[in-house]
């Protein structure tokens, strides 16, 4: 029996399959590229031949596209990223006190005490320090992103980079290149600048206590991890499946949801990989809010509506 977790973000869509011991047996990472429905279908196409629908006992969705994905696959649980990341971390270690998470487009901090989330903060305003920003800098320097962090470790004299803003950071990097500084010193300076930015903004006013987990795609960057450890003066742990912790967490939440209601999963099956989905939007004019309603059709049948504040459209689809 298996449990499915889906994390739909603006940059990537991550899908994991857990066994009954909550071990990851399948991990799929795909670029969303602005097409979340097609990306989920692609992931299901990869799983369809290896697993049967009846083997899936629960499915959960998280991420910025969790609502749409939940309707699409028939989710038993639809949860925010904060809850999902916390549940996954606590499954690995109940002594976790702080979670530093940096993804493709945003970053967040989660503090916990006695296994309960006590505080959190997110940064969705500036891209400095996120995965997409680091990808762009690696491409500009013609360095594979997988090696970007290792360059930072080779530095002996890091230069100071202005890391408060993505635009200023990039301009400062170009200026330092023009002055002749080696890439390793610039990259280490950038890593330390981005960590300063994170601690001074996202983590401002938060108690960062050990044990500390570093999660999200950027946790693969050894340069950023080392910069965090230097700034905090303590060990920062990167879990084995740091890049899909949201998916793991929501799969666990879905399992618990199904067990709690003592029912069966709502999972629609891997066959949705062959379905034809069309989404469109319209403006509701029934009140002054003028909500933009997103409508999703599966093989010509309306399966989801969201975006309304009053629930008129979304509740209608849910009831039907």
Place of tokens 């009140």: 287
Predicted confidence at residue 316, as pLDDT, reads: 64
146: number of Cβ within 10 Å: 10
pLDDT at 318 over 70: no
Mean pLDDT computed over 91-111: 92
Taking each helix axis from N to C terminus, what angle separates 166-178 and 183-197, rounded to the nearest 10 degrees?
160
Between 302 and 239, where is the model more confident?
239
Scored b (16 or more CB within 10 A) or e, 22-41 reads: eebebebebebeeebbebbb
Maximum average pLDDT range among 125-134, 144-153, 243-252, 271-280: 243-252
Predicted confidence at residue 246, as pLDDT, reads: 95
User: Facing residues of 6 across strands?
Assistant: 15, 61
- pTM equals 0.85
Mean pLDDT computed over 110-120: 95
- What one-character-per-residue DSSP string does 59-114 give? EEEESTTHHHHHHHHT-SEE--HHHHHHHHHHHH-TT--EEEEE-SS-EEEEEEET
Mean pLDDT computed over 25-47: 92
Write the pLDDT tens digit of every residue in 210-268. 999 999 989 999 999 999 999 999 999 999 999 999 999 999 999 999 999 888 999 99
Fold of 93-240: Nucleotidyltransferase; domain 5 (3.30.420)
Mean pLDDT computed over 164-174: 79
User: Facing residues of 109 across strands?
Assistant: 100, 121
Do the domains 2-84+246-273 and 93-240 sit in the same CATH topology, yes or no? yes
| Domain ranges for the chain | 2-84+246-273, 93-240, 278-319
Predicted confidence at residue 126, as pLDDT, reads: 66
- Interatomic CA distance for residues 176 and 160, integer angstroms: 9
Quote the CATH superfamily of domain 2-84+246-273: ATPase, nucleotide binding domain (3.30.420.40)
């Amino acid at each position: 029996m298996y449990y499915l977790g889906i994390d739909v973000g603006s940059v990537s869509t991550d899908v994991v399959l857990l066994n009954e011991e909550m071990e990851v047996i399948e991990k799929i990472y795909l670029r969303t590229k602005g097409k979340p429905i097609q990306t989920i279908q692609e992931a299901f196409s990869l799983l369809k031949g290896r697993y049967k629908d009846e083997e899936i006992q629960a499915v959960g969705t998280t991420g910025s596209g969790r609502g749409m994905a939940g309707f699409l696959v028939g989710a038993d649980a639809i949860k925010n990223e904060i809850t999902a990341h916390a549940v996954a971390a606590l499954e690995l270690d109940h002594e976790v006190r702080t979670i530093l998470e940096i993804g493709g487009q945003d970053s967040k901090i989660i503090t916990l005490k006695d296994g309960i989330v006590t505080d959190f903060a997110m940064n969705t305003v500036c891209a400095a320090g996120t995965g997409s920003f680091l990808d762009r800098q690696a491409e500009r320097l013609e360095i594979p992103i997988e090696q970007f962090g290792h360059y930072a470790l080779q530095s002996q004299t890091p230069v100071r980079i202005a890391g408060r803003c993505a635009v200023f950071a990039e301009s400062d990097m170009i200026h330092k290149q023009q002055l002749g500084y080696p890439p390793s010193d610039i990259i280490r300076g950038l890593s330390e600048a981005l960590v300063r930015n994170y601690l001074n903004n996202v983590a401002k006013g938060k108690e960062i206590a050990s044990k500390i987990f570093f999660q999200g795609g950027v946790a693969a960057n050894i340069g950023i991890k080392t910069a965090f450890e230097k700034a905090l003066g303590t060990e920062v742990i990167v879990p084995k499946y740091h890049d899909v912790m949201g998916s793991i967490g929501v799969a666990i939440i879905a399992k618990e949801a199904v067990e709690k209601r003592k029912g069966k999963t709502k999972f629609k099956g891997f066959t949705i990989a062959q379905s034809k989905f069309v989404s469109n939007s319209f403006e509701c004019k029934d009140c002054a809010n003028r909500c933009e309603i997103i409508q999703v059709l599966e093989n010509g049948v309306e399966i989801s509506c969201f975006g309304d504040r009053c629930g008129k459209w979304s509740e209608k689809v849910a009831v039907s």
